């Protein structure tokens, strides 16, 4: 019996803040004070509030400590653990907002969240299978193996309305039923953990924080479709996730949740981990399967769909990590419970990785149908430094930019598609008024040009041509005809590319053209960048009425582009490389960019 648990987040973000050292420190100190049998240190997965990591939570009080460093953990031990005194200044600011320390679950960031896929993340020790079992782990597997037929499992998932969380939103139960309908024989279950969207890390968090849920879900899927072998395809850039998942796999195998005759029911299933080399395109299902087979990761035409002819030519179900993380809960709580959340067409919850110009950078799980405004302004805590919201980019590099006027859009597959973006895997990047939308479109195209596999012509060459035109525009070389070409070429690439990468790659261009047309025109016609981001369209000028001739700007200029005598007005010449150092250094706000 432990009277207190100290939870130390060991997700990748907190881990990089040396949270592993905290665990060593606490264990050592507890032993020294002979408290090791009273107080337990638990290494957990991600809490989601990554902007404030490393995170330490002390139970039973449920005190959430933020941005803990070595000095901080020493104080938490000496004060809170030994003496029961909360270390006020380390407590998460938000939970102190109303004058008293509220349980962290009551804060804005956590209050509106509903954790289904992330249910156990930040709650249990991902490296201890016993903790998973203690929170009803593997009960769902036991339930399907002993009380349900494969068809009943598929029906339950169908009834829940669960749709693929990897991007396209295909109904999961339907996908399973296709593979199940194929004649008995070799079949595979694969899990797509090749999270490639820059800034998205929900899959990593599940792998790191609750790996057993995926093993359990894959075993359930295997039972439902008649498979006996599985592959988890995870990117090699997630070393911690790979290591934790491997440990979970070994433990699950040792305890008989994988292998022959699972739980004495006669059902057998085992799986492998396959490391991906980090190509974005390998998140596309056929490219992923091609990669597992040992070939260059490139998509292949569908049909045949993987459910009919997938890995090594056999019927294969490929589900995304987040999709799978929902499965055991659906089995335990019932399809109705799950279908009770969300909208008409999109059930359950969705995890988003909040990033960009927003206060609470981190991971949130919200019911489908919640508005973008709620996520950005309430859960996300709004835009820092009092700046204005300009756009939200959802769906990763191939999603679209949603302008302020559409902030009340409810988040579900259809609504996002309707406004020219997509759910994608759940990246949500917030941009403030300082962002240039042409520059943003260029940024994302730069990514897709790099990550296009190079197989089909529209995507390979088309995205490159889009990028060339955008570059031309941001350099002030654009003509109005370029905007028409951007439009027709975007449509062409979307309609004619081989796979989803190309079919969605022009989204950032198409959506910014639609919502921020004037900004493009400003670049093309007036050769100006309203947000002041496009260097080639800017000039730095010293305001004569404000300059006092202090010479600081001239001294910091790396290319000697500023001249002027002491106490005389300075000027900037054409050598200027627009680095902005002079603006930052001028104490009199005498330098502006126009």
Partner 1 sequence: MKKIANVEELNAMRDKLKDKIGIRHDVPNNIQVVVGMGTCGIAAGAPAVLSAVTKEVGRLNLQNVTVAHKGCQGNCENEPIVEVIIPGKEPVTYVNMNSQKVTKIIGEHVVGGKPVVEYSKYGRIKGFE
Partner 2 sequence: MDNVKLKINGLDVEVPKGTTVLDAAHKLGIRIPTLCYLREINAIGACRICVVEVKGARSSVAACVHPVSEGMEIQTNTEKLRQARKMTLELIVSDHRMDCLSCERSLRCELQTLANEYEVDQHKFANLNPEVDDSAPHLIRDNSKCILCRKCVAVCKHNQAVGVIGANYRGYKTQIGSPFDLPLDTQPCIYCSQCVAVCPTGALSEKYDHKKVWEAIANPNKHVVVACAPAVRAQLGECFNYPIGTNVSGKMVTALRRMGFDKVFDVPTAADFTIMEEGTELIKRLEAGGPFPMFTSCSPGWVKFCEHFYPEYLDNLSTCKSPQQMYGALMKTYYAEKEGIKPEDMYVVSVMPCAAKKFEITRDHQNAAGIPDLDAVITTNELALMIRQTGLIFEDLPDEDFDPAFGIASGAGHIFGVTGGVCEATLRTVSEIVSGKPLEKLEFNEVRGVAGIKEAEYDLGGKKLKVAVVSGTANAKKVIEDIKSGAKEYHFIEMMACPGGCVNGGGQPYQPGYVRNFTDLRALRAKALYREDAPKTALRKSHENPVVKEIYDSYLGEPGGHKAHELLHTSYVKRTVY
Q: Is 453 in the site for partner 2 (CB under 8 A)?
A: yes
Rounded Cα–Cα distance for residues 509 and 421 (Å): 11
Name which of 255 and 556 has its Cβ closer to partner 1.
255
Q: What does residue 147 show for φ and ψ, rounded to 5 degrees?
A: -125, -5
Name which of 124 and 279 has its Cβ closer to partner 2.
279
CB of 263 to partner 1, least distance (A): 6
Nearest alpha-carbon partner for 68 in 20, 121, 101, 126: 20
Residues 6+ apart with CB under 8 A from 470: 438, 441, 442, 445, 486, 509
Q: Is 266 in the site for partner 1 (CB under 8 A)?
A: no
- Here's the x/- map for partner 1, 103-142, by CB under 8 A: it reads as x-x-----------------xx----xxx-xxxxxxx--x
- Other CB atoms within a 10 A radius of the CB of residue 365 amount to 25
What are 63's strand-pairing partners? 58
Q: Which stretch binds partner 1 (CB under 8 A): 248-256, 372-380, 473-481, 528-536?
A: 248-256
Burial class (CB in 10 A: 0-12, 13-18, 19+), 58: buried
- Here's the x/- map for partner 2, 483-522, by CB under 8 A: it reads as -----xx--x-xxxxx----x-------------------
C-alpha 73 chain-centroid distance = 28
Q: What does residue 288 show for φ and ψ, rounded to 5 degrees?
A: -60, -45
Q: Could you identify the residue written with the tokens 């305001």?
A: 543
Q: Is 468 in the site for partner 2 (CB under 8 A)?
A: yes
Q: Binders of partner 1: how many residues, by CB under 8 A?
A: 45
Q: Are 401 and 443 in contact (CB under 8 A)?
A: no
Strand 349-356 to strand 427-432: parallel, antiparallel, or no bridges (unpaired)?
A: parallel
Name which of 458 and 508 has its Cβ closer to partner 2.
458
Report angle CA 369, 374, 375 to the nearest 5 degrees. Answer: 85
Q: Is 480 in the site for partner 1 (CB under 8 A)?
A: no
Q: Is 88 in the site for partner 1 (CB under 8 A)?
A: no
Q: Is 463 in the site for partner 2 (CB under 8 A)?
A: yes
Residue 443 site contact among partner 2, partner 1, none (CB < 5 to 8 Å, cut-off depends on kind): none
Q: Is 245 in the site for partner 1 (CB under 8 A)?
A: no
Name which of 247 and 460 has its Cβ closer to partner 2.
460
Name which of 197 and 365 has its Cβ closer to partner 1.
365
Rounded Cα–Cα distance for residues 585 and 588 (Å): 9
Sheet of strand 39-44: strand arrangement? 39-44, 4-9, 56-59, 63-65
Residue 492 site contact among partner 2, partner 1, none (CB < 5 to 8 Å, cut-off depends on kind): partner 2
**Selected binder of partner 1 within 16, 70, 146, 491 (CB under 8 A):** 146
Name which of 128 and 446 has its Cβ closer to partner 2.
446
Q: Binders of partner 2: how many residues, by CB under 8 A?
A: 34
**Selected binder of partner 2 within 464, 527, 578, 585 (CB under 8 A):** 464
Q: Could you identify the residue written with the tokens 């030994």?
A: 82
Q: What does residue 309 show for φ and ψ, rounded to 5 degrees?
A: -140, 95
Distances (CA, A) of 51 to 380, 390, 505: 11, 21, 29
Q: Is 451 in the site for partner 2 (CB under 8 A)?
A: yes
CB of 455 to partner 2, least distance (A): 5
CB of 426 to partner 2, least distance (A): 22
- Other CB atoms within a 10 A radius of the CB of residue 594 amount to 9
Name which of 264 and 301 has its Cβ closer to partner 2.
301
Residue 488 site contact among partner 1, partner 2, none (CB < 5 to 8 Å, cut-off depends on kind): partner 2
Name which of 92 and 257 has its Cβ closer to partner 1.
257
Burial class (CB in 10 A: 0-12, 13-18, 19+), 407: middle
CB of 461 to partner 2, least distance (A): 4
Q: Is 38 in the site for partner 1 (CB under 8 A)?
A: yes
CB of 268 to partner 1, least distance (A): 14
What are 235's strand-pairing partners? 276
- Name the DSSP class of 263: T
Q: Are 428 and 457 in contact (CB under 8 A)?
A: no
CB of 511 to partner 2, least distance (A): 18
CB of 493 to partner 2, least distance (A): 9
Q: Is 481 in the site for partner 2 (CB under 8 A)?
A: no
Q: Is 434 in the site for partner 1 (CB under 8 A)?
A: no
Question: How many angstroms separate the first and last alpha carbons of the chain?
Answer: 67
Q: Is 31 in the site for partner 1 (CB under 8 A)?
A: no
Residues 6+ apart with CB under 8 A from 234: 193, 194, 207, 241, 242, 245, 273, 274, 275, 276
Q: Which residues bind partner 1 (CB under 8 A)?
A: 1-5, 7, 33-35, 37-38, 40, 42, 59-62, 82-85, 103, 105, 123-124, 129-131, 133-139, 142, 145-146, 251, 254-257, 263-264
């Amino acid at each position: 019996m432990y009277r207190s648990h100290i939870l130390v987040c060991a997700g990748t973000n907190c881990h990089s803040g040396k949270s592993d050292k905290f665990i060593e420190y606490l264990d050592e100190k507890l032993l020294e004070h002979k408290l090791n049998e009273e107080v337990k240190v638990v290494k957990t997965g991600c809490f989601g509030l990554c902007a404030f990591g490393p995170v330490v939570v002390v139970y039973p009080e449920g005190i959430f400590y933020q941005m803990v460093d070595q000095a901080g953990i020493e104080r938490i031990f000496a004060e809170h653990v030994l003496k029961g005194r909360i270390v006020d200044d380390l407590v998460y600011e938000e939970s102190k907002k109303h004058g008293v320390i509220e349980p962290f679950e009551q804060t804005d960031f956590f209050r509106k969240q509903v954790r289904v896929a992330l249910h156990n993340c930040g709650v249990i020790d991902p490296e201890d299978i016993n903790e998973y079992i203690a929170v009803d782990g593997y009960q769902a597997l036991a339930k399907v193996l002993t009380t349900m037929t494969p068809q009943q499992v598929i029906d339950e998932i169908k009834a829940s309305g669960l749709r693929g969380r990897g991007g396209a939103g295909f109904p999961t139960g339907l996908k399973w039923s296709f593979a199940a309908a194929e004649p008995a024989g070799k079949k595979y279950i694969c899990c797509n953990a090749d999270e490639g969207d820059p800034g998205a890390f929900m899959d990593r968090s599940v792998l790191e924080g609750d790996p057993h849920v995926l093993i359990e879900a894959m075993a359930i899927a295997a039972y439902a479709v008649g498979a006996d072998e599985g592959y988890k395809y995870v990117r090699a850039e997630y070393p911690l996730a790979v290591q934790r998942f491997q440990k979970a796999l070994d433990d699950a195998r040792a305890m008989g949740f994988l292998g022959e005759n699972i739980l004495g029911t006669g059902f057998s299933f085992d799986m492998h981990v396959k490391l991906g080399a980090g190509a974005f395109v390998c998140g596309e299902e056929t490219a992923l399967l091609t990669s597992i087979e040992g070939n260059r990761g490139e998509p292949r035409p569908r049909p045949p769909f993987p459910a009919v002819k997938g890995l090594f030519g056999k019927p294969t179900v490929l589900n995304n990590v987040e999709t799978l993380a929902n499965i055991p809960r659906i089995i335990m709580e019932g399809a109705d419970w799950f279908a009770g959340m969300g909208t008409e067409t999109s059930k359950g919850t969705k995890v988003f990785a909040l990033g960009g110009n927003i206060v609470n950078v981190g991971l949130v799980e919200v019911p489908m149908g919640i508005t973008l405004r709620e996520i950005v302004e309430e859960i996300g805590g709004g835009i820092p430094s009092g700046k204005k919201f300009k756009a939200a980019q959802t769906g990763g590099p191939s999603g679209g930019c949603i302008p302020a006027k559409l902030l009340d859009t409810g988040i579900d597959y259809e609504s996002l598609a309707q406004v020219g973006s997509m759910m994608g895997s759940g990246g949500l990047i917030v941009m403030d008024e300082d962002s240039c939308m042409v520059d943003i479109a260029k940024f994302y195209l730069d990514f897709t040009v790099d990550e296009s596999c190079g197989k089909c012509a529209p995507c390979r060459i088309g995205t490159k041509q889009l990028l060339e035109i955008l570059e031309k525009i941001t350099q002030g070389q654009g003509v109005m005809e370029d905007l028409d070409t951007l439009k027709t070429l975007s449509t062409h690439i979307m309609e004619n590319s081989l796979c989803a990468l190309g079919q969605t790659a022009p989204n950032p261009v198409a959506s910014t053209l639609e919502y921020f047309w004037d900004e493009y025109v400003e670049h093309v016609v007036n050769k100006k960048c309203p947000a002041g981001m496009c260097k080639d369209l800017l000039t730095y000028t010293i305001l004569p009425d404000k300059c006092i001739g202090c010479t600081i700007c001239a001294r910091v200029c790396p290319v000697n582009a500023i001249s002027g005598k002491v106490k005389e007005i300075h000027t900037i010449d054409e050598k200027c490389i627009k680095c902005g150092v002079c603006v930052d250094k001028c104490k009199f706000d005498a330098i502006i960019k126009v």
